[in-house]
Amino acid sequence: MTDIGIRNERPEEYRAVEELTREAFWNLNVPGCDEHYLLHTLRRHPDFIPELDFVATLNGELAGSIVYARSAVETSGGQKRETLTFGPLSVLPAYQKRGVGSALVRCSLKEAAALGYGAVLIYGDPAYYARFGFRPAEAFGIATAEGSFHPALQALELVTNALADCAGRFFEGDAYHCDANAAAEFDKTFAPKEKFVTESQRRFARLAGLPEPE
């Protein structure tokens, strides 16, 4: 039997959750990963939302994590509309495919709605996020910051019609900016881990429209 619990992250487990995030993302999208550093910096960013910082436990053990930050759509009419963005979303590889990721997403979206947020925009794999009701942001006329429609950019209304009349461009702000050199230095404080090219990196490159790794 699996007993999944969802609760707010505690400061004393920050490092353990960064370890977990590193395990989940290591060699997934690129050789190595930066997501544990991103999480580390995101928690101190003004756009970070502590009420939506959740961990999942599986039979009492830390198994997953999700965090949110404020983001925005700038409409073609020049208005700024606040949205939410989540990520990193991580589940320890040993605990994946047992419903932990879905529980984190569903529970945090429910809490976000209860807090009064209207809509969530994320970059992620549509094959995973469609099950939670996410649709291509293009369906709402929302493009990337660069002005193109991208299949990885997906949107979910928490309040009906929250994204009506919201056509424009999506900005994550600098909350999700990650300094690669600082991330590499931060990674040195963790146990060494081998970097290599994986099939998931090729899939990620195709989804992101980047050159595939050799």
Ligand X SMILES: CC(C)(COP(=O)(O)OP(=O)(O)OC[C@H]1O[C@@H](n2cnc3c(N)ncnc32)[C@H](O)[C@@H]1OP(=O)(O)O)[C@@H](O)C(=O)NCCC(=O)NCCS
**153 scored as a contact of ligand X (CB under 6 A):** no
102 binds ligand X (CB under 6 A): yes
Q: Which of 100, 109, 155, 166 binds ligand X (CB under 6 A)?
A: 100
90 scored as a contact of ligand X (CB under 6 A):
yes
Does position 132 bind ligand X by CB under 6 A?
no
The backbone region for 30, taken as left when phi is positive above 0, alpha when psi lies in -120 to 50, beta otherwise, is beta
Q: Does 84 bind ligand X (CB under 6 A)?
A: no
Q: How far apart are CA 170 and CA 173, in angstroms?
A: 9
69 in Cβ contact with 175 (< 8 Å): yes
* Position 210, amino acid: L
Nearest to ligand X of 44, 97 (CB atom): 97
Instruction: Confirm or reject binding of residue 127 to ligand X (CB under 6 A).
Output: yes
CA distances from 194 to 4, 30, 111, 184 (A): 31, 12, 37, 13
Quick one: which of 96, 133, 167, 205 contacts ligand X (CB under 6 A)? 96
Burial 18-37 (b: 16+ CB within 10 A, else e): bbbbbbbbbbbbbebbbbbb
Asked if 176 is part of the footprint of ligand X (rule: CB under 6 A), the reply reads no
Q: Indicate whether 91 belongs to the interface with ligand X (CB under 6 A).
A: yes
The residues of the shown chain that bind ligand X, judged by CB under 6 A, are 24-25, 28, 89-91, 96-102, 124-125, 127-128
